[in-house]
Amino acid sequence: MKNQIVTILGTGFINRYLVRNLTKKNYRCIISTRNAFQKGYLKTQATPGSIELINWNPNNFDELKESIKNSDVVINLIGILYETRKQKFMNIHAGIPEAISKICAQSDVKKFINISAIGANPDSKSLYQRSKFQGEVNALTNFKNTVIIRPSVIEGAESNFSNLFAKLSFFPIIPIVNKSYNFQPILVTDVADAIVKAIEAKDNHGKIYEIGGPQVISFGDMVKSIMRTLNKKRFIVEMPMSIAKIQSTLMSILPIPPILTRDQCKILSEADNVVSNNYLTLQDLNVKPSDVEEAMKKWLWRYRDRGQFAKAQ
């Protein structure tokens, strides 16, 4: 039996873990990226010929059609955390799933996996969350064999969250917004496992999975956990939302927002980022989530004062 072909859009955080899982199961991966020559490291995940990199300009879907038409599965990992002059939430989170799902509907694709986010909601004040929801609607409407996966905050060695606050441990005081805001961090390897299991699962077309780690934890407690992992004592203080909004507005003129955007402030003022149990979960995929706080020790040691030689508390 010939190997199944998977076309993957996006070469960000999740990609290398997902590709490794897929190639172990003898899937052949076609990975689309803006600059294929910069992503050669992905080919080290498998034997020669198992991974193909193709250049793709998101403004021209004609370049991607041939790849999708020859694929059994298509996975969309593309997402942004903040808008820039060229990249807008609606274009990325809603426009791309719409275009890809239409191509899938015209092809012999067996399943389209679209990665969304917990909190996707048409009534959210956050444009990020509204755009994620619209992407789900577009994909499910255009292609009946679509599966939506909504992860909570994804953690791993390359994560923005834990690495950011580890870097901020340089300061004696760390201000955060809404310390009581809860989320359910999930390890990137578990997300990769969930995607593969969703591909292999039967009769899940049109379904939505909400996936999170084994523990619900508050924003404040998560930052404290990071500090404990670093063997550092820091004052975690709550920044008033009004001040955070002013600061984020002023910082929005920078090419890369340093900590928090105004849209992220809106997310932190709404419902917690946890599995709602209104949809399918990791349990339905037979994936047992890993302990994120324990896993963080494997990559945060480099921020300790003595690095790997520092003793954990």
Tens digit of each residue's pLDDT (9 = 90 or more) over 232-257: 999 999 998 888 888 877 776 666 66
Q: What is the pLDDT of residue 62?
A: 80
SS3 177: strand
295 CB neighbour count, 10 Å cutoff = 20
55 CB neighbour count, 10 Å cutoff = 11
Instruction: Answer whether residue 230 shows pLDDT above 80.
Output: yes
Give Cα separations from 31 to 73, 111, 267, 271, 291 (angstroms): 12, 16, 31, 35, 30
Q: What is the pLDDT of residue 256?
A: 66
Q: What is the pLDDT of residue 312?
A: 55
Rounded to two decimals, the pTM is 0.94
pLDDT range class, residue 49, cuts 50, 70, 90: confident
SS3 258: coil
Compute the distance between CA of residue 135 and CA of residue 11 in angstroms, rounded to an integer.
19
Pairing between β-strand 208-211 and β-strand 146-151 as defined by DSSP bridges? parallel
Q: What is the pLDDT of residue 257?
A: 67
Taking the CA atoms of 36, 23, 140 and 191 in sequence, report the sign of the dihedral they define. negative
- Summarised one tens digit per residue, pLDDT across range 283-294 is 999 999 999 999
Instruction: Answer whether residue 194 shows pLDDT above 50.
Output: yes
User: 4 CB contacts (<8 Å, ≥6 apart)?
Assistant: 26, 27, 28, 72, 73
Helix (H) or strand (E) holding 300: helix 297-300
Instruction: Answer whether residue 228 shows pLDDT above 90.
Output: yes
Residue that is written with structure tokens 């349990």 in the block? 283
Lookup: tokens for 216: 């619900």
Q: What is the pLDDT of residue 286?
A: 97
pLDDT range class, residue 123, cuts 50, 70, 90: very high
Q: What is the pLDDT of residue 48?
A: 83
Q: How far does the chain reach from its first CA to its final CA, in angstroms?
A: 52
What amino acid occupies position 73?
Answer: V
Residue that is written with structure tokens 């999170």 in the block? 212
Q: What is the pLDDT of residue 311?
A: 61
User: 276 CB contacts (<8 Å, ≥6 apart)?
Assistant: 118, 210
Q: What is the pLDDT of residue 308?
A: 59
Instruction: Answer whether residue 140 shows pLDDT above 80.
Output: yes
- CATH annotation of 5-154+185-212+274-289: 3.40.50.720
Q: What is the pLDDT of residue 294?
A: 95
SS3 52: strand
SS3 218: strand
User: 148 CB contacts (<8 Å, ≥6 apart)?
Assistant: 114, 116, 136, 139, 140, 207, 208, 209
CB 73 within 8 A of CB 31: no
Residue that is written with structure tokens 């920078």 in the block? 254
Q: What is the pLDDT of residue 30?
A: 94
49 CB neighbour count, 10 Å cutoff = 9
| Mean pLDDT lowest among 20-34, 98-112, 151-165, 241-255 | 241-255
| Mean pLDDT lowest among 4-13, 53-62, 125-134 | 53-62
Instruction: Answer whether residue 75 shows pLDDT above 80.
Output: yes
pLDDT range class, residue 1, cuts 50, 70, 90: very low
Instruction: Answer whether residue 310 shows pLDDT above 70.
Output: no
Q: Output the average pLDDT for the chain.
A: 91
